[in-house]
Structure 1
């Protein structure tokens, strides 16, 4: 099993930030100044380690670059990266790849996500507990203000990811994420998308590599001035899903190497390990038990009138015990053929004898105390059968030698 990730050193070399928050922008001259100043003030007051804010200008054609240069001149923790081409993914790749910080993050310039979620976003990465972290607007404890259209699109997209790429993370496109730099160095060269699908591709690769993705519920308020082209973005995302899906199916991605190098291996077996396959066996045994109990109660009610309570109990229990053993032999434990069938049925009959003792004894005690109605008899028999069922499972499992 790979060694756990080391915690980030809180006292890096002089001048080296622990956290680098990237703000990718395109033609955001109006929002950039308030965003960066608010973010800078928050980190200065709330984040206990050295930090940096990197404004990544994606080929803006307005005054965004001039605003970013003024911010960098005024605030020593602010840096500017200028790119000649557009694309959020391209911006993040460039800024993250060049950053000296051990923890890398990004957020959207509109600050739709409440900054109070930033410390819990990066803390698991600083400690080494997790490898990536994402803000999620879809958790039950998240608080989100946005229109129905964007809500439906967001939830539909994430459901599509679950169905097509088996994604287990809840919110791929929330503009609020962080990653450890050592993990980014391995994953970024494999991420092909340079636009909005970048986030999804990075997360799917991380999941398939066995990395731990931490999710933080966020407070999120939709920006009514958002200029994202929903149709164009959706089409690009669909193309990205198709391309990534083909790469996963064809084995074009070095997932085995990534898992060996970065993935978190299986946990060591505990001293009192639950036997492999036991949960499934219990579920199947319970299903057979429910069917057997219903059949038993029906037979008891049919035979109760002409035979009396005790003979009816004996007949119903005997018939259902034989059927129960046969069903559990095949369905619960996966044993087929006649090999050891006799021994298995002997064990089943032993379980029948124990069940008979429990149910008959319970009936005898009940009748000794009172003249019970049928409902009371059935209630006592159900309770006794529950105890007998537990014993039956242990005996049958022992007889049939646990098969994983």
Structure 2
């Protein structure tokens, strides 16, 4: 059998790219998602690695990662006790060391072929590359209700006031220059659904443009989001982000995390 492109076990050289997968109670979707992600990364002509962040799961999520077989793409577990996808992504990004980093959802709703384009743009000098379901070149399979679609439209309008020119802040497929991602992750204070908005806004305030790319995206079953239960909390989160970004001199004196309004955030 020919050797993998990444060498023996993927450990001979440090990774050029690390991908974070936030996970809460994902024992059903995580094995298939990791198989798909590792198969994609194993075909890369350079070392890569995966970090799964266990966000207080009560099922076998952590056990699945600990027992993951050794292969060309190392997979390691990072625990995160603070509830919320934003908290989990923050912990994962701070656990990276690669020149390029990214994160994607455990359900792999975004087709992983987009990794090639994202990394190519990073290598050419872009510092923030994100998947956008609103891109004219994207193919989106969407089974959401009309109520949820209306809520998404309202969210995009509010998020656009904080991150100008970005059409889709919430697609769970984002890649960054590693140094920038770690600098920004230290500052993140939003643990829930709207964390992407703060993440991108802080990248922009450091002079990094956000490059949106087309994706193939599938609406996967198992979403925990409910417009009736979560809309108010999300609006309040966006308000907090707006205030926080405009109170930079006092930001350093704030606690590392504010009490989450709602730990929602997982697809």
TM-score by length of 1: 0.55
Alpha-carbon separation, structure 1, partners of 2:26 and 2:188: 26
Of 111, 132, 138, the match for 1:136: 132
Q: Does 1:21 align with 2:22?
A: no
Question: Is 1:196–1:233's contact at 8 Å kept on the other side of the alignment?
Answer: no
Per the alignment, residue 190 of structure 1 pairs with: 187
Question: What aligned pairs does 1:2-401 form with structure 2 within 5 A after superposition?
Answer: 14-45=12-43, 47-71=44-68, 73=70, 77-127=74-124, 129-146=125-142, 147-149=144-146, 150-162=148-160, 164-165=161-162, 167-252=164-249
Alpha-carbon separation, structure 2, partners of 1:77 and 1:130: 26
Q: 1:72 to 1:94 in 2, by over 3 A?
A: farther
Alpha-carbon separation, structure 1, partners of 2:64 and 2:145: 34
- What per-residue deviation string (whole Å, max 9, x for no partner) do you get for residues 240-281 of structure 1? 221222234445478xxxxxxxxxxxxxxxxxxxxxxxxxxx
Alpha-carbon separation, structure 2, partners of 1:120 and 1:204: 22
Higher-helix-fraction structure: 1
Question: Is 1:104–1:180's contact at 8 Å kept on the other side of the alignment?
Answer: yes
Question: Is 2:190–2:241's contact at 8 Å kept on the other side of the alignment?
Answer: no
Alpha-carbon separation, structure 2, partners of 1:53 and 1:250: 35
Question: Is 2:24–2:54's contact at 8 Å kept on the other side of the alignment?
Answer: yes
- What per-residue deviation string (whole Å, max 9, x for no partner) do you get for residues 181-228 of structure 1? 111232122221112221110111222332121111111111122123
Shift of 1:86: 2.2
Question: Is 1:26–1:86's contact at 8 Å kept on the other side of the alignment?
Answer: no
Unaligned 5+ runs, structure 2:
1-5, 252-267
- What per-residue deviation string (whole Å, max 9, x for no partner) do you get for residues 272-327 of structure 1? xxxxxxxxxxxxxxxxxxxxxxxxxxxxxxxxxxxxxxxxxxxxxxxxxxxxxxxx
Per the alignment, residue 3 of structure 2 pairs with: none
Higher-strand-fraction structure: 2
Question: Is 1:55–1:81's contact at 8 Å kept on the other side of the alignment?
Answer: yes
Q: Which has the larger radius of gyration?
A: 1
Unaligned 5+ runs, structure 1:
1-9, 255-404
Per the alignment, residue 254 of structure 2 pairs with: none
Shift of 1:179: 1.3
- What per-residue deviation string (whole Å, max 9, x for no partner) do you get for residues 356-401 of structure 1? xxxxxxxxxxxxxxxxxxxxxxxxxxxxxxxxxxxxxxxxxxxxxx
Q: Which consecutive segments of 4 or more residues in structure 1 shift more than 6 A?
A: none
Q: Which has the higher contact order (CA 8 A, sep 6+)?
A: 2
Alpha-carbon separation, structure 1, partners of 2:99 and 2:229: 34
SS of 1:30's partner is: coil
SS of 1:81's partner is: strand
SS of 1:35's partner is: helix
Question: Is 2:104–2:173's contact at 8 Å kept on the other side of the alignment?
Answer: yes
Q: 1:14 to 1:249 in 2, by over 3 A?
A: same
